Amino acid sequence: MRYLGALLLTFLCWGSLQAQDRDSIIRTADSMINTVLADSVKANIEKKESRAERRVRTREEKERDKYYFKGILKDSARLEIERISRVAWRRSLFVPGWGQYTNGGLWWIKVPVIYGGFVAGYLTFDYWNYFYREYQTELQFRFNNNGEPSDGPLGNPNFNDQSLIRQRDFARRNRDITVLVTLGWYGLNVVEAYVNSMLSNRWNISDDLSFRVTPTVIPTYPSGMAANSRLGVSSLFTPGLKLTLNLN
């Protein structure tokens, strides 16, 4: 009877293990089927998304990012500051000085400075372009006439072809640099409009400036005691003035 009970217990344990194995196999198969179905559904969704729909989705995501900063919703004040700043730099991009006029403040000084820079850039460009054309015309004349100089101001025989080429390249280089500097000045106009708008709207910058001058004493290091001694008496302090600036 004892052996029969042990045999029955062994049989029951073996049956339980087989049932657990079947359940684990069924669960694994179900999870694999669910994964395959999810991947197929995702692939079908991505496949069905057209290019136009993708552009719309990307545009909506960018529009949403305007109202969030690192996942935090921006308040109305920050959104308004960003809108005003965008208006300022875009106006300066279309018409130089327009953004400075929009920001207010010292625009009546900034706008003449901006256009003065453009005028200086144009005059410098015209200066170097004139010399470039003169040297180029002389070289072209000598090339067409077997090296004979022309009757113009550069027709001096002492000016050989190599020196004319060097001067022409020098004038062309300065002319091109003038164009780049003028473009940089144009970009600086846009940057100034944006930065000034951000600073003037984020912080209260006042033109009220005051200062105060008061007497003070400066501690003297031991190594300088001998130099600051008068009548054989060493001083640990040196008199001075303190300037205090107040920005309101």
Low-confidence ranges of the chain (pLDDT < 50): 17, 19, 26, 29, 224-233
Asked if residue 190 lies in contact with residue 99, where contact means CB atoms within 8 angstroms, the answer is: yes
Q: What is the pLDDT of residue 233?
A: 45
Q: What is the pLDDT of residue 105?
A: 86
Per residue in 50-96, pLDDT (tens digit) is 778 778 878 877 777 767 766 667 777 777 888 888 899 999 999 99
For 207-236, b/e burial (b = at least 16 CB within 10 A) is eeeeeeeeeeeeebeeeeeeeeeeeeeeee
Does this model's pTM top 0.75? My answer is no
As to burial, measured by CB atoms within 10 angstroms (0-12 exposed, 13-18 middle, 19+ buried), residue 89 is buried
